[in-house]
A and B are shown apart, each in its own frame.
Chain A
Amino acid sequence: MTDPQAVATANAATPLVDAGAPGAPTTLDKPRSLASDAWHDLRRRPLFIVSAVLITALLVIAAFPQLFTSVDPSVGDLSKARDAPSPDAIFGYDALGRDVFARAIYGARVSIVVGVLATALTILIGGSLGLVAGFYGGRADSVLSRFADIFFGLPFVLGAIVILSTFRDVVGGDPVGITSIVIVSMAALGWPVTMRIMRSAAIAARNQDYVRAARGLGASPMRLIVRHMLPNCAAPVLVYATIALGAYIGAEATLSYLGIGLRDPVVSWGVMISEAQTSLRVAPTLLVFPGAFLVVTVLAFVMLGDAVRDAFDPKGR
Chain B
Amino acid sequence: MGLSTNEPLLEVDDLYVEFHTRDGVATVLNGVSYSVGAGETLAVLGESGSGKSVTANTVMGILPMPPGRITKGAIRYRGEELLTAADERRRELRGENIAMIFQDALSALNPVYTIGFQIGEQLRTRRGMSKKDAEKRAVELLDQVGIPGAKQRVRSHPHEFSGGMRQRAMIAMSLALDPDVLIADEPTTALDVTVQAQIMDLLKDIQVERNMGLILITHDLGVVAEVADRIAVMYAGRIVENADVHALYANPCHPYTRALLESIPRLDSKGTQLRAIKGLPPNLTNIPSGCPFHPRCPMAVDRCRAVDPPLEALPGGRSSACLFAEELVRP
Q: Which residues of A contact B (CB under 8 A)?
A: 28-29, 31-34, 138, 207-210, 212-220, 223, 227-228, 231-232
Q: Which residues of B contact A209 (CB under 8 A)?
A: 102, 104, 107-108
In the bound complex, how far is the Cα of B113 from the Cα of A147, in angstroms? 34
- Which residues of chain B (201-226) have a CB below 8 Å from chain A? none
Who on chain B is nearest to A29 by CB? B160
| B189 CB, nearest partner CB in chain A, Å | 13
Q: Are A217 and B110 in contact (CB under 8 A)?
A: no
Q: Are A217 and B155 in contact (CB under 8 A)?
A: no
Decide yes or no whether B263 CB sits under 8 A from chain A.
Answer: no
Contact of B174 among A29, A217, A223 (CB under 8 A): A217
| A309 CB, nearest partner CB in chain B, Å | 19
Q: Which residues of A contact B100 (CB under 8 A)?
A: 213, 216-217
Q: Which residues of B contact A32 (CB under 8 A)?
A: 157
Contact of A232 among B112, B125, B170 (CB under 8 A): B112
Decide yes or no whether B178 CB sits under 8 A from chain A.
Answer: no
| A138 CB, nearest partner CB in chain B, Å | 7
Q: Are A31 and B173 in contact (CB under 8 A)?
A: no
Q: Of the 9-residue stretches B11-19, B88-96, B244-252, B295-303, which lies at the interface with chain A?
A: B88-96
Decide yes or no whether B4 CB sits under 8 A from chain A.
Answer: no
Contact (A217, B157) CB under 8 Å given A208-B107, A210-B109, A212-B102: no
| A112 CB, nearest partner CB in chain B, Å | 30
Q: Are A217 and B95 in contact (CB under 8 A)?
A: yes
Q: Which residues of B contact A232 (CB under 8 A)?
A: 110-112
Contact (A217, B94) CB under 8 Å given A28-B152, A212-B102: yes
Contact (A138, B66) CB under 8 Å given A217-B94, A232-B110: yes
In the bound complex, how far is the Cα of B94 from the Cα of A187, in angstroms? 40
In the bound complex, how far is the Cα of B122 from the Cα of A228, in angstroms? 13
Q: Are A214 and B110 in contact (CB under 8 A)?
A: yes
In the bound complex, how far is the Cα of B60 from the Cα of A111, in angstroms? 52
Contact of A218 among B66, B109, B126, B152 (CB under 8 A): B126
Q: Which residues of A contact B125 (CB under 8 A)?
A: 219, 223
Q: Are B157 and A33 in contact (CB under 8 A)?
A: yes
In the bound complex, how far is the Cα of B33 from the Cα of A281, in angstroms? 87
Q: Which residues of B contact A29 (CB under 8 A)?
A: 160
Who on chain A is nearest to B170 by CB? A213
| A57 CB, nearest partner CB in chain B, Å | 33
| B155 CB, nearest partner CB in chain A, Å | 7
Decide yes or no whether B289 CB sits under 8 A from chain A.
Answer: no
Q: Which residues of B contact A219 (CB under 8 A)?
A: 121-122, 125
| B131 CB, nearest partner CB in chain A, Å | 14
Q: Are B104 and A217 in contact (CB under 8 A)?
A: no
Who on chain A is nearest to B66 by CB? A138
In the bound complex, how far is the Cα of B68 from the Cα of A138, in angstroms? 13
